Amino acid sequence: MSPRKSVTETAATRTRILECALASASADGLEGVTIGRLAAELEMSKAGVIGHFGTKEALQLAVLDTAVDRFVQRVPARAVGARPGTERLARAFGEWIDYMAEDGRGCFLTSVGTEFDDRPGPVRDAVIAALSRWSAYVLDEIRTAVDSGELPQDTDPDQLAFELDGVVLATAQAVRLHHDPLATTRARRTLARLLPS
């Protein structure tokens, strides 16, 4: 076997493991991802699974990185073409709401944030870092909207960001826990009120 093929196969196996782990984590939480369960689902040995990551914590961090990458590609990346300010914010939050509703599982990032909110360690730190990057993005767009006159000069950016995050958290719960078919409609109405065009 050539070294190139071996590297390619190793990368493909790692990707398969991460896909399976992300699906499990989306359904049962990040702590629900176990080496034994992954090994059984992928028809691999436990050593074969853990050998790609070293520890369960490293696997959890890799799953979180994968989820964050997907979020970035689905949410802010799709809002890039929108005008900076309220239009971009409305599009980004609209994408997030649609993303949560697609499979009825809500939002992985908000779920894992709740799962690890009182559990110190590298996974919690990584969740905080990811959500902090999102908050900085939102605050930037709110300030742009204020500077351009789209939002009133007395707008409190931190308060508006808090309210927008509240829409997402409420939507996630309505989608996942209550299976509310009107969740996205209600969320979009709230966004329109908070981010007038």
Note down pLDDT in tens along the chain; length 197 residues.
555 558 899 999 999 999 999 999 988 899 989 999 999 999 999 999 999 999 999 999 999 999 999 999 999 999 999 999 999 999 999 999 999 888 777 788 889 999 999 999 999 999 999 999 999 999 999 999 999 999 999 999 999 999 999 999 999 999 989 999 999 999 999 999 999 87
Q: Return the structure tokens found at 37.
A: 């369960």
Domain check: are 102 and 166 in the same one? yes
Q: Per the domain annotation, does 18 fall within a domain?
A: yes
Number of domains making up the chain: 2
- Residue finishing a domain among 62, 83, 112: 62
Q: How far apart are CA 195 and CA 94, in angstroms?
A: 11
**Could you tell me the pTM of the whole model?**
0.89
The answer to whether 108 and 26 are in contact (CB under 8 A) is yes
- Residue finishing a domain among 62, 97, 113: 62
